């Protein structure tokens, strides 16, 4: 298995698409298994940056747009469904690419986690377990902070231009669950505050980078001034095939 993690705006989907092309050229059949906590929701694809129809034609994505807006969805709901998708893909001789930026969901996709709360100041937790259910190569995309923040701001502008504010208002009319409301930018766009959405997105990226630094056994790839094709080539070289 392959896992691809990184902060918002770093270009995970573009790298996954390039990698999928390379894997198919080797006779493999890749499929993306999303580990994004909010891309599971129907009706928020623009806001959450879910792969477009054209991108999903190039690389099939599973665990996206599977939950109605009105339903709550948790890590406990996600983990067994992600495990089933991964196991089904492997049984069909496909190459799963676990893809996303929600660190806890990535660990839940890759490992059998205990969902019980651990005592404060506990040094070890199964949430940080390096053990995975299947052999997995984990790749973490990083980027110099200034360039990443510029990309995040541009990404927010593109999302708004693509109709995210109208999407959020339609979602609000349906009475979204408390977990759907956690989508990055949902509250901000309801208020028409794009600048606040940009700031919150940059803050979230910092937390994602903290997750990345704590993850064990990660091959880090610096995307600063590099293309998705460059990263896909490095991943292929690291895989050895």
Strand order in the sheet with 61-62: 61-62, 30-34, 95-100, 2-5, 137-142, 218-222
Domain segments of the chain as ranges: 2-239
In this model, does residue 214 exceed pLDDT 90?
A: no
Q: Which fold has domain 2-239?
A: Rossmann fold (3.40.50)
Token readout for 122 is: 């506990």
Confidence of residue 121 (pLDDT cuts 50, 70, 90): low
In this model, does residue 116 exceed pLDDT 80?
A: no
Confidence of residue 129 (pLDDT cuts 50, 70, 90): low
Residue 211: predicted pLDDT: 85
Residue 29: predicted pLDDT: 98
C-alpha torsion sign, points 55, 58, 63, 69: positive
Residue 118: predicted pLDDT: 54
Q: What is the mean pLDDT of residues 168-191?
A: 96
Q: Which residue has the tokens 């630094």?
A: 213
The verdict on pTM exceeding 0.85 is yes
Tell me the per-residue pLDDT of 68-111, one tens digit each, with 9 for 90 and over. Answer: 999 999 999 999 999 999 999 999 999 999 999 999 999 999 99
| Whole-number CA gyration radius for the chain | 17
Q: Can you name the residues that pair with 218 across neighbouring β-strands?
A: 138
Confidence of residue 241 (pLDDT cuts 50, 70, 90): low
């Amino acid at each position: 298995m392959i896992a691809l993690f990184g902060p918002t705006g770093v270009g995970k989907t573009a790298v996954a698409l390039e990698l999928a092309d390379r894997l198919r050229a080797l006779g493999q059949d890749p499929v993306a298994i999303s580990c994004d906590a909010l891309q599971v929701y129907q009706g928020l694809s623009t806001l959450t940056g879910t792969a477009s129809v054209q991108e999903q034609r190039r690389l099939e994505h599973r665990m996206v747009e599977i939950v109605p807006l009105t339903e709550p969805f948790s890590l406990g709901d996600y983990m067994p469904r992600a495990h089933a998708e991964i196991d089904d893909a492997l049984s069909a001789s496909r190459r799963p690419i676990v893809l996303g930026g929600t660190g806890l969901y990535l660990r839940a996709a890759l490992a059998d986690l205990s969902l019980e709360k651990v005592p404060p100041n506990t040094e070890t937790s199964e949430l940080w377990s390096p053990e995975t259910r299947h052999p997995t190569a984990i790749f973490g995309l990083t980027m110099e902070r200034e360039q990443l923040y510029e990309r995040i701001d541009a990404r927010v502008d593109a999302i708004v231009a693509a109709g995210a504010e109208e999407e959020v208002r339609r979602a609000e009319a349906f009475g979204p669950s408390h977990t759907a409301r956690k989508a990055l930018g949902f509250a901000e766009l309801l208020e028409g505050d794009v600048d606040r959405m940009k700031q919150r997105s940059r803050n979230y990226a910092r937390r994602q980078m903290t997750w990345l630094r704590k993850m064990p056994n990660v091959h880090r790839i610096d995307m600063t001034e590099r293309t998705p094709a460059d990263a896909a080539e490095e991943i292929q070289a690291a895989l050895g095939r």
